[in-house]
Each structure stands twice: as structure tokens, then as C-alpha cells.
């Protein structure tokens, strides 16, 4: 989270900035048409095997991790939103003007004039702008 503003209330899956995604892995896979999926090497998390997947929808990319044989539970490691049809990111949206995003975020103590990245020990959000509008929202979520 280098050069990011610390925001104590930030959490990737809860609170005002939390990703708004279905609670189960099966439901998450049905939020849109999957354009591509990449399965990364399986690993170990405690006593169970896990897998990490990058699931690409039109305008939304998710990197998720979960138990290999469990299609109910998953965690989000990364989310990249770059099309406005995805309303999964709390008070900020693709296409919002810098002024509107700044106004909404100031309510939570985030000043976009200082940084375009903010978060906590739980993860961070980085905003990209094009023509004074949000063009990309990237979540980096920490598991553990």
C-alpha cells in the first residue's frame, strides 16, 4: 500500500468501501458471462488444498482463492473494475467525475487531492482517471 492514504474503516468485503459480491463462489460465477478463466497453481491453506483463479467478465476481473473442493467459500485477492455496468464498489463508480468521487470519499476521510490510493491492513483501492472521470477501480485484498 505504498503511497496510499490510510483509512481505518476500509475493508475489502464489508463496510462502506467493501466489494458487493455474492456470498458464495457458485453465485459469484453467475454475476455475468465469464469471458476467460485462468487457474493458477494449487496451494495449501492450513489442512486443505486451495486454488487461485482469475475470472474475467466484460469489464470486471476477479482473482479469487478458495478451497479446492468447496464451491461455496471464496476470498477475493484482487478486483479490477473498468466498465460502468459493474456496481460492486461501494460509493465510487466507473464514470464518476473526480469532483463527485472526491466529495463522496471526503465523507469517509479520504482526500483524493493527496492520493489516488487508500486502504488499511485489509487491502487497498487504487483509482485511475481519464478525462476527469474514474476509468478503473482496483482492489487489492489481503487474506490472513
Three-state SS for 23? coil
Enter the pTM of the model.
0.89
Between CA 14 and CA 12 the distance in angstroms is 6
> What is the rounded end-to-end Cα distance, in angstroms, of the chain?
16
Residue from 127, 130, 91, 58 nearest 140 by CA: 127
Burial, 55: exposed, middle or buried (Cβ in 10 Å; 0-12, 13-18, 19+)?
Answer: buried
Three-state SS for 99? helix
At 83-131, the pLDDT tens digits run 999 988 889 999 999 999 999 999 988 888 767 899 999 999 999 999 9
At 25-82, the pLDDT tens digits run 999 999 999 999 998 866 655 555 778 999 999 999 999 998 767 778 899 999 999 9
C-beta separation of 83 from 94 below 8 A: yes
Between CA 16 and CA 140 the distance in angstroms is 16
Amino acid at each position: 500500500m505504498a503511497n496510499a492514504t490510510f483509512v481505518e474503516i476500509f475493508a475489502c468485503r464489508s463496510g462502506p468501501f467493501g466489494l458487493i459480491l455474492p456470498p458464495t463462489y457458485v453465485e459469484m460465477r453467475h454475476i455475468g458471462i465469464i469471458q476467460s478463466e485462468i487457474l493458477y497453481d494449487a496451494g495449501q491453506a492450513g489442512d486443505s488444498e486451495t486454488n487461485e483463479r482469475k475470472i474475467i467478465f466484460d469489464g470486471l476481473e476477479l482473482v479469487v482463492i478458495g478451497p479446492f473442493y468447496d464451491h461455496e467459500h471464496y476470498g477475493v485477492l484482487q478486483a479490477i473494475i473498468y466498465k460502468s455496468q459493474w456496481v460492486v464498489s461501494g460509493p465510487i463508480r466507473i464514470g464518476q467525475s473526480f469532483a463527485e468521487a472526491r466529495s463522496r470519499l471526503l465523507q469517509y476521510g479520504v482526500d483524493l487531492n493527496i492520493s489516488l490510493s487508500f486502504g488499511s491492513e485489509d487491502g487497498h483501492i487504487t483509482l485511475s482517471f481519464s478525462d476527469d472521470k474514474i476509468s478503473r477501480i482496483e482492489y487489492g485484498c489481503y487474506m490472513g
